[in-house]
Structure 1
Amino acid sequence: MWKPTRKASISIQRQIINWILDQIQSGDWGVGTKLPPQRQLAIQFNVNRSTIQQALEELKADGILNSKVGSGVFVANNSWNVLAKNNQPNWQKYIEASIHRPNYHTIQLINEFEQDDSIIRLGTGELSPSLLPTKQLKESLHKLSFDGKDFGYSSPQGSTKLRHELCNYLKKRGITTKPENILIVSGALQALQLMAVGLFETGSIVFQDPISYLNSIHPFQSYGMQMKSVNRDKQLKQTLQLKKKNRQSIFYTVPTLNNPTGRVWTFQEKQHLYNTCKELQIPIIEDDVYSELLFQSPIPSIKSLDTAGQVLYIGSISKTLSPGLRIGWIVGPTPVIKRLADIKMQMDYGSSAVSQEIVTYWLTSDLYENHLIELREHLRFRAKFVENILNQQFSSIAKWENSSGGFYIWLRFDEPIVTKEFFLKLLKRKVLINPGYIYDPDDSDHIRLSYSYASLDELKKGLQILYEESLTTIKNSCTP
């Protein structure tokens, strides 16, 4: 006898509704058929009676069933007509039953309006087209020679030439590795998605800083993992032990030019996290995609401390060279890399072979290093430009720390004005921000202010509009 299963991807209630519809469409329950009593169905399906009641109410609302007072529930006379009209799939129900969680509405709006050229983008986490080495990239294509194999699928772990070159390049981050310990991926986000699917069980715990980029995407949450924010203080070990218990867990962090705060960890902070997690056997995901944009001398990575395969290291050229090339990498123990490579091949048969050739060429020549030197100077100038405007206009209503590199200034208003309403008011005036609440649901004080994308004129105009709306909002909030 059929019973719903709790292991299915759709709810128990939806399974029961689908089963009833099958009985009607197959002809087992014709028009006028009286359904078994709710109590009997509840016992048969081993569910609460309320679940049966809710399923029947939905079918009655759709016109499939009707009820007669004192008599029970019946297949409606027009059930066949209703079903005939609904012969197209109900995609909304498919969507609602799917595994991957939808993103916040604010982020959906950000993704949508970033495609509008009339919008001033004050929060965008990418380089302006004017900062990309477009001309040099085009020229490098002419200097590369391709054969037929180069236009085919890549090998499971990615280009051997690129992985060999990355071994040399990563020494600058204090990382000693081998080609077999590297997997080429289509950016850092795919690295996280592969880890979520391939390494962790449902119910695993992902530890993170209280303000985290992971809160604005759902690579782990969508697969049933729990996100837990922790403070990296003197009680870190006790906190992790208390929250971890016997569950599988991992610690995710962006220690160099954190997204969204722009903060840079000290070497002592990195040592503290590494030693604590090593003692508790908690792996670390080090997201290091911004480190090459640091204005000061770089601090060795957490991975450089790793002597036990504790750290999974993520790098990328999306923030430095070109997001469109879609090339990043994971460095980790061989079994982990083999596992993730197998999953990646099942998903996309490898990253672009042409993009890998381009990145290899740039790394083996002086092109990449020279580009980074020039790019850091451009970003330093833009950061100072924005900081001057903030000093002139925002010092009485907000606080911030000057940028240490990368793209962002973490702007904190003195009043909790950063709400969805505030976001929409700015959007109406053609200014797009990244509000703090997408990185911490309880944050109504911050915005992630980016100086990397908008032109200088747009930054000046956008910040003026931000200032005006901020003053208006503060004034209205103080009005009794």
Structure 2
Amino acid sequence: MSDEWKLNRSTSTPLHHQIYEYLKRKIINGEWPVGTKIPPQRDLAQKFQVNRSTIVYALGELAADGLIMSRAGSGTIVANNTWSLLTAAPPPDWISYVKSGAYHPNIQIIQEINAAETDPAIIRLGTGELAPELLPTQKIKQIFHSADSLSLGYSEPKGSLYLREMISKYIKSKGINASPPSIMIVSGALQALQLISVGLLHRGSTIFHETPSYLNSVHVFQSAGMNLLGIPMDQKGMQAHSIGRLKRQHNGALLYSIPTFHNPTGIVMSSDRRTELLQTCKKESIPIIEDDVYGDLWFENPPPHPLKSMDEQGQILYIGGMSKTLGPGLRIGWIVGPEPVIDRLSDIKMQTDYGSSSLSQFAVAEWLSSGLYEEHLAEIRAELLERRNLTINILNKYFKDLSTWNVPNGGFYIWLTINKQISLHQLFKKALKEGILINPGNVYDRNNQNHLRLSYSFASIDQLKKGLIRLAQIIQELSS
């Protein structure tokens, strides 16, 4: 229901009939095939900004035409279309196809978050990306404008050689030595995980990760038939001492970690914990996926070098990218790993999308080679630090009796612990109704019922103030 069709309130055609015609077109054109669940009356009334009775009239006409029907416990569904009314041959049962797909659907709350993020009026207090005003749009335009030559063709399987050479130099500053053949360009870190799941692992494998974890908010491994198992964290990061036992109990195949500015907690794994984790995984022969997409977003002091900088055996697949620093729309990330692994993953990537955007690869290579990226990082760190400080000040003033929180040294996130006995589901719904979008902790750990992932990176300064103050009031209202 996100299309741009709107009611014409200046015509003599009744509103309910306009809505009837609009919904009818969606059915007869096949956009809503037989079996599709119609949005609830309340949602339709809100979308079209009409009284609920107007929706009831429109749906009544569709029912009279035989196009929709109500089912107890299932709501209103499309029962027929004009073709199926005129012929004995039934249309394809697309709903059964949808339910049969191998890839798991997002959990309901993630679908609601994704839908709400398309509304420009929503105050987004959980979104994990830079605000539009922080993105270097004009400088990107200048790079393309001044380019001597641009390629619109496919790049080689591992990605642009020039970009991989620039990445090789760039990650050397992080203590990682990797030549271009051991680097592969991907369309964001999520694609890296997708390729690993289908290219290196078998069904029934178990993936270890910190709990809570970003991995629980996507279904990349689960849809490939694998299991996720959370390992507890403390303020130093993942607790490594139980990994050996868990590997033997659960057929552990691989460990995924965000050691630097962890999503969602913002924790930075300490240097000694990094050493312990790497040594434990070496002993247990467990490969590691290190996700370092937030690693450049430190404030006063750089974090410890990545785990990959200590890797002397090719044990770690290292994921980096530009979505969190330069722009999510570029869709450029990379995997660093042993050449046979990179060869395997690049072969699969060529079978799925024939390479990441050549224009985006060109832009990122220019940013890395020109020094613009380091200049940009300095600006972004300063902006994010200002936003973090503002957010902490608001929390100190309005949330001190409601919750506790960490003070991150970089990244986007504050992991807020609510000390009141309230329903996260009710909090999410009530906040959303008032135009405030939050990310509840159960997105990242299904058993978590008292945390929020707050982000200070996307909402404007004014929105942060307004949204957080009202959120504190809502928590207080729900707890009283």
TM-score band by shorter chain is 0.7 to 0.9
Instruction: Confirm whether residue 386 of structure 1 aligns to residue 391 of structure 2.
Output: yes
2:172 maps to 171
Taking a change above 3 Å as real, the CA distance of residues 237 and 248 of structure 1, as seen in their structure-2 partners, is closer
The number of equivalent residue pairs is: 391
Per-residue deviation, residues 291-333 of structure 1 (Å, max 9, x unmatched): 0001122311000111111000000000000111110000011
Q: 2:288 & 2:246 partners in 1: Cα distance?
A: 13
1:185 maps to 186
Instruction: Confirm whether residue 242 of structure 1 aligns to residue 248 of structure 2.
Output: yes
Contact 1:200/1:248, CA 8 A, preserved across alignment: no
Contact 2:209/2:228, CA 8 A, preserved across alignment: yes
Q: Secondary structure at the match of 2:289?
A: strand
AA aligned opposite 1:204:
S
Select the residue among 408, 412, 418 that pairs with 2:413: 408
Select the residue among 143, 147, 151 that pairs with 1:144: 147
Taking a change above 3 Å as real, the CA distance of residues 85 and 455 of structure 1, as seen in their structure-2 partners, is farther
2:158 maps to 157
Gaps of 5+ in 2: 1-83, 233-237
TM-score by length of 2: 0.79
Q: CA deviation at 1:420?
A: 1.6
Q: 2:180 & 2:309 partners in 1: Cα distance?
A: 16
Q: Secondary structure at the match of 2:318?
A: strand
Q: 1:438 & 1:224 partners in 2: Cα distance?
A: 20
Q: Secondary structure at the match of 1:151?
A: coil
Select the residue among 342, 364, 367 that pairs with 1:362: 367
1:206 maps to 207
Select the residue among 371, 377, 400 that pairs with 2:382: 377
AA aligned opposite 1:326:
R
Taking a change above 3 Å as real, the CA distance of residues 428 and 332 of structure 1, as seen in their structure-2 partners, is same
Contact 2:212/2:445, CA 8 A, preserved across alignment: yes
2:470 maps to 465
**Paired residues for 1:303-322 under 5 Å:** 303-322=308-327
2:79 maps to none
Contact 1:119/1:432, CA 8 A, preserved across alignment: yes
Taking a change above 3 Å as real, the CA distance of residues 85 and 469 of structure 1, as seen in their structure-2 partners, is farther
1:284 maps to 288
Q: 2:207 & 2:121 partners in 1: Cα distance?
A: 38
Q: 1:329 & 1:299 partners in 2: Cα distance?
A: 20
Instruction: Confirm whether residue 452 of structure 1 aligns to residue 453 of structure 2.
Output: no
Per-residue deviation, residues 378-426 of structure 1 (Å, max 9, x unmatched): 0000000010000001001100011211111111110242522221111
Contact 1:383/1:451, CA 8 A, preserved across alignment: yes
Q: Secondary structure at the match of 2:167?
A: helix
AA aligned opposite 1:161:
Y
Contact 1:418/1:447, CA 8 A, preserved across alignment: no
Q: 2:305 & 2:330 partners in 1: Cα distance?
A: 26
Q: Secondary structure at the match of 1:235?
A: helix
Contact 1:418/1:446, CA 8 A, preserved across alignment: no
Gaps of 5+ in 1: 1-80, 476-480
**Paired residues for 1:246-285 under 5 Å:** 247=251, 249-285=253-289
TM-score by length of 1: 0.79
Q: 1:258 & 1:425 partners in 2: Cα distance?
A: 28
1:51 maps to none
Select the residue among 113, 134, 138 that pairs with 2:137: 134
Q: 1:243 & 1:418 partners in 2: Cα distance?
A: 34
Instruction: Confirm whether residue 352 of structure 1 aligns to residue 357 of structure 2.
Output: yes
AA aligned opposite 1:261:
T
Taking a change above 3 Å as real, the CA distance of residues 160 and 416 of structure 1, as seen in their structure-2 partners, is farther
Question: Which protein shows a greater Rg?
Answer: 1
Q: 1:289 & 1:383 partners in 2: Cα distance?
A: 19
Per-residue deviation, residues 13-36 of structure 1 (Å, max 9, x unmatched): xxxxxxxxxxxxxxxxxxxxxxxx
Per-residue deviation, residues 324-380 of structure 1 (Å, max 9, x unmatched): 111000001111101110111111110011111111110001210000001000000
Where does structure 1 differ by over 6 angstroms across 4 or more consecutive aligned residues?
A: none
Taking a change above 3 Å as real, the CA distance of residues 237 and 447 of structure 1, as seen in their structure-2 partners, is closer
Per-residue deviation, residues 149-169 of structure 1 (Å, max 9, x unmatched): x10111100000000111110
Taking a change above 3 Å as real, the CA distance of residues 237 and 450 of structure 1, as seen in their structure-2 partners, is closer
AA aligned opposite 2:265:
T
Q: CA RMSD in A?
A: 1.5
Contact 2:247/2:253, CA 8 A, preserved across alignment: no
Taking a change above 3 Å as real, the CA distance of residues 145 and 416 of structure 1, as seen in their structure-2 partners, is farther
Instruction: Name whichever of 179-188 and 84-93 sits farther off.
Output: 84-93
AA aligned opposite 2:273:
E
Taking a change above 3 Å as real, the CA distance of residues 186 and 234 of structure 1, as seen in their structure-2 partners, is closer
